[in-house]
Amino acid sequence: MTDRTSQTDTARTWFETLRDRICAEFESIEREAGSDAAFQYDSWSREEEGNEDPGGGTRGLMKGKVFEKVGVNVSTVRGNFAPEFAASINGASAENPGFTATGISLVAHMANPHVPAVHMNTRFLTTQAAWFGGGADLNPPLPYEEDTDDFHARFRAACAAHNPTYYERFKKWADDYFYIPHRGVHRGVGGIFYDHLECEDDAGFERNLAFTKDVGEAFLDIFPKLVRRRMESDFTPEDKAQQLEWRGRYAEFNLVYDRGTLFGLKTGGNIDAILMSLPPEATWS
């Protein structure tokens, strides 16, 4: 019999390990720039009436010389969806609203407008079903074709190691998802996005966990390279103005369309952790 609790613990352990490695790498970049910035960690506990073990998480936040604001969250929560929300979740219903979710979520807003902002999230959810989802996407205020190509190439390789159809499917999913309809523009230059990689048995869990791990490894490999490539670039007031206006678009997407933001708010997550994705400064023309 499949042990969903054990699977959740296994996934959580990976997400926490990945968090620690990412934060260490980002702090190393700050040291290279002559900064002593470090992540500050705040733990939080979820509350749900009648639930003795609703879980919680840890928000890691750093504000430095290179990373103007970067948040790395890991959470593991369990409980029941509200009936009207349950109907929108794979494997849940008003009659069976129970869920467990564990995952890592990262958003980095950079001080230098030549350095791309980035988002990465991977997660494991169980209802009456169980599945992995996530991905990563690059969000440069001042796009460079070389950076975009290298980012996509790294995730293409991660996908190809598991399924020859993954990259094209998940790239299109990211293109379709990270789109701002009221502006008629994409949020960034894309990446990959996937959901509902079903774990019907132990073999499915191991297979999809292995892929999700490789997504995390791909991110940890490529994004620091892009940061180091651009972090000492000179920029003009016009470059900074473009970055701040672009950040306004980023905020619009996350507050109006992002499913992760909605999921966190609907399940009693920590508001500061959920909204850490918003940029420290933004403008609207």
Which residues are the active-site residues? Answer: 119
How far is CA 189 from each of CA 3, 10, 28, 134, 142, rounded to the nearest angstrom?
A: 39, 32, 26, 17, 11
In 3D space, the residue among 265, 260, 135 whose CA is nearest the CA of residue 188 turns out to be 135
Q: What share of the chain is helix, strand, coil (3-state, %, to 5)?
A: 45, 25, 30
* Residue of 140, 142, 135, 141 lying closest to 159 (CA atoms): 135
In angstroms, the CA 68 to CA 80 distance is 36
Q: Provide the residue type at 224 as one letter.
A: P
Radius of gyration of the chain (CA): 19
CA separation for the pair 151, 160 (Å, rounded): 14
